[in-house]
Chains A and B, each alone.
Chain A
Amino acid sequence: MSNQRFDHLRLEKVTRRFGDKVVLDELDLHIAGGEFVALLGPSGCGKSTALNCLAGLLPLSGGGIWLDNKRVDTLPPERRGFGMVFQNYALFPHMSVRRNVGFGLRMRGVSRSETRRRVDAALRLVQLPQYADRLPGQLSGGQQQRVAIARAVVIEPPLVLMDEPLSNLDAALRLDMRTEIRRLHQSLGLTTVYVTHDQEEALSLADRLVVLREGVVQQVGTPEELYRSPANAYVAGFMGYRNLLPMTVTGGGGGLATATGHGMELTGVARGEVGGGPVIVAVRPEDFVVGEPPAGETNRVDVDIEVVEYHGRELAVQARLPQGQALLLRTPTRVARGDTVAVWVPRDHVLVFSDSGTTDGPPAEEAAGPSAGVAGTAAPNVSQARSAEADREHEVTPS
């Protein structure tokens, strides 16, 4: 089955339950050959479950997976011929790097000389040819993950699955490896499904993103689509709209909606049905401007500066709205703790979502300081959210 390119991979109503808990709820997804798709969501959203179902490490509770016209969800993992990169690398500790990378070829009965040639090529691809005879334990984390990637791609699988491959690496290395993975995908063109909880990683790597929440797809689209027009407040929270304020609609029309709450009034672009009543108003920290607005702009409020973090060109600021609600800002304007300043935000940078009762604030690492976020952040989010849920998913292996 390897060596075969395919037209599309189809997931139809893929469902996975653990006991009564639905971890993945009727996931429908079409992936074109050569595409790089990221599954994005916080721990426990079902993204690792989806990947394990694709790999065959978890049986489906319902639905089917099709590779062109061939049904694959009924095959055991060893007969699917996919490549997989694990979060903890999962390199065989008792085998040299060369034997690790060659393992899949050996299982396929590839001749010894051919195996040697392809392993050498794969190690050159990940820039580790000089480490072929080392044991994995003698390599650094980044090198180990590169070996794991080489091991997954050397079999030229129709599909490569990556389960948070960068989350065990430190911040600087993660950026390097991100570039490496992108480069590999561009040069090999292997269809890839990539699971991550890091929105930066997903945005920078993927052709298409799938945002999951509690096993349900929230939005599917290109990074730009998701970044520019998130479908709901949950996706918005992932796409850098770190200010998600529950407010009440008081007026609107012509695609705009005006909402009040927290001692201020904001007018923004209405997304979906936002009649009268509770809404979530989403604004990116970097879209706020410190100072008095120009004439005609009404989205203005006075805030008390509480926490200021220096980030070079910008300051990451946590402020308080008049009624005590926290507000995150990024601004090149110098402000100091204790200041009370006016801020404003252009209307087209404010999104107003209907409050379907499912939104409970930013979905990502809520506890992070004012600097955590998406665009404009110098260093990626280092927090390693590994919940018990995600660990549990990994423990369930076929016997």
Chain B
Amino acid sequence: MTSVMTPAPARSTASGRPALSHRLAERGIDRTLLLLLPGLVFLVALFVYPFVYGLSLSFQPAASHKTTDALYNYKQFFHDPYQRDTIWITLKIGLPAAIINVLASIPIAYRLRGRVRGKRLLTTALVIPITLGTVLTATGMIEYFSGTGWLNRVLMSLHLTDVDHPIPLLHNYWGVMLSLIISGFPFAFLLTLSYLSGIDPSLESAAAVLGAGWFKRFRDITFPLLAPGLAMTFCLNFVLAFSVFPSAVLLGDGEGKTHVISIAAYDAAYQEYDYSKASAIAMIMAAVMLIVISVVLFGRAQLYRGSSGGKG
């Protein structure tokens, strides 16, 4: 930031004190701060205001409830097991999905760091699910994984399963999980790949010459340097997975095992038309995400996070 500031000329007033503009500039205040204004307006209008509005709305229960208790919506949520359990249901989908995505991205990114033939092709193939969007992915999955879809038909013709018992991969927990992996993995992979390329390859060479085999090289050198990046990757993936909505609606069973918290909020807002309750659920959702991310970032703060020497 400081590097782009125009140094103010050292004008002095008669009293010998430097001019006000100069003193302000030394504290980082000058006209370049105006460049922040559009971003700031954007941030307030689209993020801060809706959040504060939702937060205050959640403390004003709908008139139909005939209560003055500001915490009514929150108490109701935690009192009702059906509502309360959406937190666990969502965590049970979101945490494994994020962990699987991060873990799966490590070996592939590790293999593809540096210059590898076909890297661009593979990267492109992996990025396509991001560009398609969740709904299109879900539609494709319905075609592919349904009882009469390609996968089950192939399995049937191989006599691995029969017409009466197709492998159920849709409208249940696994349908949502698969969709989250398909849409979340490319993110995890791209992030991990960029973190990995930030690690100087000569570090591994040095470890090899010093007698470390591939496993020790990974365990002692690459993994510790990669871990902070993996923590960030996990957080981003978890946030994506935790707020799962379209795929839970399209590929889950909607009521039981995949009645995730975002569906609960949607129901409150558009089935019961209780915006106040919906806001409260949204706030609870944000709080849960914040707790998980705080735990991960606290762990990350314990790691080495300095330079890892490479082109980052």
Interface residues of A (CB under 8 A from B): 55-57, 76-84, 86, 88, 90-94, 103-104, 107-108, 135, 137, 151, 155, 161, 394-395, 397-399
Contact = CB atoms under 8 A, between A and B. Distances in A.
Nearest to A94: B304
A278 B177 CA distance: 78
Interface string B183-207: 0000000000000000011111111
A135 B306 contact: yes
B212 interface: yes
Nearest to B309: A93
B307 interface: yes
A83 B210 CA distance: 7
B115 interface: yes
Interface string B78-109: 00000000000000000000000000000000
A57 B201 CA distance: 11
Interface in B10-60: none
Contacts, number: 92
A90 B114 CA distance: 17
B212 A107 contact: yes
A397 B205 contact: yes
Contacts of B115: 395
Given A86-B202, A395-B114, A399-B114, A93 B209 contact: no
User: Which of B111, B202, B211 is packed against the most chain A CB atoms within 10 Å?
Assistant: B211
A139 B224 CA distance: 21
Given A77-B205, A77-B208, A94-B306, 16 more contacts: A57-B208, A57-B209, A78-B211, A78-B212, A83-B210, A86-B206, A88-B200, A90-B205, A92-B220, A93-B203, A94-B225, A103-B212, A137-B306, A395-B115, A398-B205, A399-B114
A103 B307 contact: no
A82 B206 CA distance: 11
A93 B111 contact: no
A104 B210 contact: yes
Contact of A399 (B111, B202, B307): B111
Interface string B201-244: 11111111111110010001100110000000000000000000
Given A90-B202, A92-B221, A397 B114 contact: yes
Contacts of B211: 78-79, 81, 104, 107-108, 155
A395 B209 contact: no
Task: From B206, B210, B221, B306, name the one whose CB has the most chain A CB atoms within 10 angstroms.
Answer: B210
B262 interface: no
B204 A397 contact: yes
Given A107-B212, A137-B306, A397-B202, A92 B207 contact: yes
B258 interface: no
Q: Which of the listed residues B200, B202, B212, B221 has the most CB atoms from chain A within 10 Å of its own CB?
A: B202
Contacts of B111: 399
Contacts of B224: 94
Contact of B208 (A88, A151, A161, A398): A398
Contacts of A81: 211
A74 to B, nearest CB: 15
Contacts of A107: 210-212, 216
Nearest to B110: A399
B279 interface: no
Nearest to B209: A84
A163 to B, nearest CB: 9
B306 A88 contact: no
19 contacts: A57-B205, A77-B209, A78-B211, A78-B213, A83-B209, A86-B205, A88-B309, A90-B206, A92-B206, A93-B308, A103-B210, A107-B210, A107-B211, A137-B306, A155-B210, A394-B201, A395-B201, A397-B202, A399-B111
A107 B209 CA distance: 11
Nearest to B116: A399
B202 A394 contact: yes
Contacts of A86: 202, 205-206
Interchain residue pairs A-B with the least CB separation, the first 10: A94-B304, A107-B211, A104-B210, A90-B206, A77-B208, A90-B202, A84-B209, A397-B201, A78-B211, A77-B209
Contacts of A83: 209-210
A232 B200 CA distance: 39
Could you say which of A55, A76, A90, A137 has the most chain B C-beta atoms within 10 Å of its C-beta? A90
B307 A137 contact: yes
A83 B211 CA distance: 9
Contacts of B309: 88, 90, 93
Contacts of B303: 94
A81 B208 CA distance: 10
In this complex, the member of A56, A92, A151 whose beta carbon has the largest number of chain B beta carbons within 10 angstroms is A92
A55 B304 contact: no
Task: Give the one of B200, B201, B209, B306 with max A CB within 10 A.
Answer: B209
B210 A90 contact: no
A249 B279 CA distance: 96
Given A88-B200, A107-B216, A394-B202, A55 B209 contact: yes
A88 B309 CA distance: 9
Contacts of A399: 111, 114
A151 B201 CA distance: 18
Contact of A78 (B114, B201, B208, B307): B208
Nearest to A77: B208
Nearest to A104: B210
Contacts of A161: 209
B202 to A, nearest CB: 4
B207 A103 contact: yes
A59 to B, nearest CB: 13
Nearest to B212: A107
Contacts of A55: 205, 209
B261 to A, nearest CB: 38
Interface string B231-273: 0000000000000000000000000000000000000000000
B123 to A, nearest CB: 17
A369 B47 CA distance: 60
A103 B221 CA distance: 11
B205 A93 contact: no
Contact of A93 (B208, B210, B213, B304): B304
A394 B310 CA distance: 12
A342 B210 CA distance: 59
Nearest to B308: A93
Contacts of A93: 203, 225, 304, 306-309
A79 to B, nearest CB: 8
